[in-house]
Structure 1
Amino acid sequence: MDYTFVIALCQTLHPLAKSPHLTAAAYPDRIAKVSGKEQTALAWPWVMLDWLRVLGGGVCHQLPGHSLQVAGIPLPLCARCTGTYLGSLLGLTTVIARRRLRASLVPPWPVLALFAIFFLAWGGDGLNSYLTLFPGFPHLYEPSNGLRLLTGTLQGLALSLTLWPVAGFTLWQVPERQQVISFRETVVVVAIALAIVGALLLPLPAALLAGAMLSILGLLSMFTLLNTLLLSVLRHQEGKLQATRDLLPALGLAFALGTTELLVLDLLRRAAFGA
């Protein structure tokens, strides 16, 4: 089977990556059986994954064995990072959907206790997984991408919802003394997070591709949020925002800065490690 066209297309559109996963064996059989225009249409997911891998390369080890895969190609982030940034995106989306942009109070203590469990589970599973990299080193259980994804998703959700009140207090001239999320809302959002994890583990190619895109969007969103806070402090703009529209220029600048940071981090990684 000749996948030369698809491979050449991916590498032409993505000269930075030259991905080691970009091999003929990685592509579905049906790509080789269709004409040029149809091959171009079928190739876009693999081109997209390779581009997304650049954005994620500076913050994630991207080990194939630790990553969910679609058609034999790893997603742009490992399973744990995929979960972390999907969970973060879910948390930020919840804040927006519930109109809590100005909320400046952390969740109630039962929710904080639950979030603490999520952080401990994430850290414990990560440590256990890391220990397996050393042959013969004792560890509690065999790690799996399912657990990496689950603990990452719950930790990312907890992270974004814990961090947001800091943004609410820092950015707005008149922050609202309102909790960013209630216990009942947390139960619903955690259920949604579990459903997302389940959908990615089925696995369905469409769900995995959507997960790849949304995880990178979550990564960009977190970098944007952190850069917005940093720029606000550096420019002495704390407590200056009055209306939601006042936030847009700051978000635009922070997004551009975050994208640049991720690209630079990936280039530094490639310069240091060659992959």
Structure 2
Amino acid sequence: MQDLARGPHISHLDNTPTRIELRWSAVVIGMVVGLLLGVLFMPGVTLEQILYLALHGICAQTHNLVVGGFQFPLCARDSGMYLSYLVTLGVVVARGRGLAGRLPPLRISLTILLLFVIMGVDGVNSTLAEFDFPHAYTPRDDLRLVTGMGAGIGLALVVLLVINTALRRDVQDQLHSLGTWRELGMIILINAIIVALIYTNLLIVAVPLALLSAAAVLLNLALVMMLIPSLFLGLGGRVTRTTQLAHPAFIGLVLGLTFLIALARYRIWMEVTGVLPPPLVP
């Protein structure tokens, strides 16, 4: 990785978590574990129904993937976007670019922007078809999935850049979040493997991917919604260790969950009153 940059000097004391940070970290971990156990073992409803209702306000849920008889909670496009979001963050961190303060080089950035535009074009075409307007081609769920994955790459990189530049003291200003075509290719390859797994039509594949897509939605909301609390807590440009973000992460999780519940309740109200068609509950 030829453009890895040296960040500001951080003493080992800056990397030592305080007691309160460890407590908040335990709270966040406990909250995440509790949510997962609640989703997996809630009595009286299926996992499909829990995930479907939890994300009911995120998208229309009219073109959901069904794999091995299991319906994903998001439409094909959003499923692809959020799975790719996780893949992108994973590759960035695995390649040692988690503290990056720059977008990818221009050509790579333009390619990622093009992928986002392609998703937009496919979305417009799908909308035109929904309303029986003239459209360029017949919409397909595989195209929705793949174009969504392309957009997920850009979404992840932008969120990472905003968090790093706003909060991290040790942000590496000269480090690209993706530095080479090879790294972009790694993301695309993993996304292709996910697509191949989806088309095996196996239940054992569907459940973890559906859970991951739902987790990615909550992660994205929590990251975005913890930004303002972090600044109010005086963490702007001061973070040198992950545990410092435990308190705002808890706030972000609570706000993210509240947002999901509010959106779902509002959409259910619109469906009950006839403003929207009835839901396709699995």
Range into which the TM-score falls when normalised by the shorter chain? 0.7 to 0.9
Identify if the C-alpha distance between structure 1 residues 189 and 70 changes in structure 2 by more than 3 Å, giving closer, same or farther.
Answer: closer
Aligned to 1:254: 252
Change (3 A) 1:241 1:204: same
Question: Are positions 1:150 and 2:181 aligned together?
Answer: no
- Cα deviation 1:45-86 (Å, max 9, x = unaligned): xx11111112211111111xx111145553111101111111
Identify unmatched segments of 5+ residues in structure 2.
1-40, 273-278
Partner letter of residue 60 of structure 1?
C
Choose which of 84, 91, 107 in structure 2 pairs with 1:94: 91
In the alignment, the residues of structure 2 paired with residue 234 and residue 55 of structure 1 have an alpha-carbon distance, to the nearest angstrom, of 29
The corresponding residue for 1:225 is: 223
Partner of 1:32: none
Out of 161, 166, 170, the residue aligned to residue 166 of structure 2 is 170
Question: What's 1:57 paired with?
Answer: 56
Mapped partners of 1:198, 1:232: distance in 2: 39
> Can you list the C-alpha shifts for 1:180-205, whole angstroms capped at 9, x where unaligned?
12222111111111211222123222
Question: Is residue 206 from structure 1 mapped to residue 237 from structure 2 by the alignment?
Answer: no
TM-score (norm 1): 0.78
Q: Is the 8 A contact 1:146 1:201 kept in 2?
A: no
- Residues 203-230 of structure 1, C-alpha deviations (whole Å, 9 max, x = no match): 2222222221110011111111111223
Q: Deviations over 1:16-65 (max 9, x none)?
A: xxxxxxxxxxxxxxxxxxxxxxxxxxxxxxx11111112211111111xx
Counterpart residue number, 1:270:
268
Q: Structure 2-normalised TM-score?
A: 0.76
Alignment-derived partner of residue 20 in structure 1: none
Q: How does 1:7-46 map to 2 (within 5 A)?
A: 13-14=44-45
Which of 126, 131, 137 is the matching residue for 2:123?
A: 126
Provide the secondary structure at the position in 2 that maps to 1:75.
strand
Moved over 4 A (4+): none
Shift of 1:238: 1.4
Q: Partner letter of residue 129 of structure 1?
A: S
Deviations for 1:127-149, whole angstroms, at most 9, x for unmatched residues? 101111122x2101111110000
Aligned Cα RMSD in Å?
Answer: 2.0
Distance 2:98 2:255 in 1: 22
Amino acid at match of 2:242: T
The count of corresponding residues between Structure 1 and Structure 2 is 231
Q: 1:105 aligns with which of 102, 108, 116?
A: 102
Q: Deviations over 1:83-102 (max 9, x none)?
A: 11111111222233234332
State the alpha-carbon separation in 1 of the partners of residues 43 and 194 from structure 2. 33
8 A contact 2:83–2:152 mirrored in 1? yes
Identity of aligned residues (%): 30
Provide structure 1 residue ranges, at least 5 long, that are not aligned to the other structure: 1-9, 15-46
1:81 matched residue in structure 2: 78
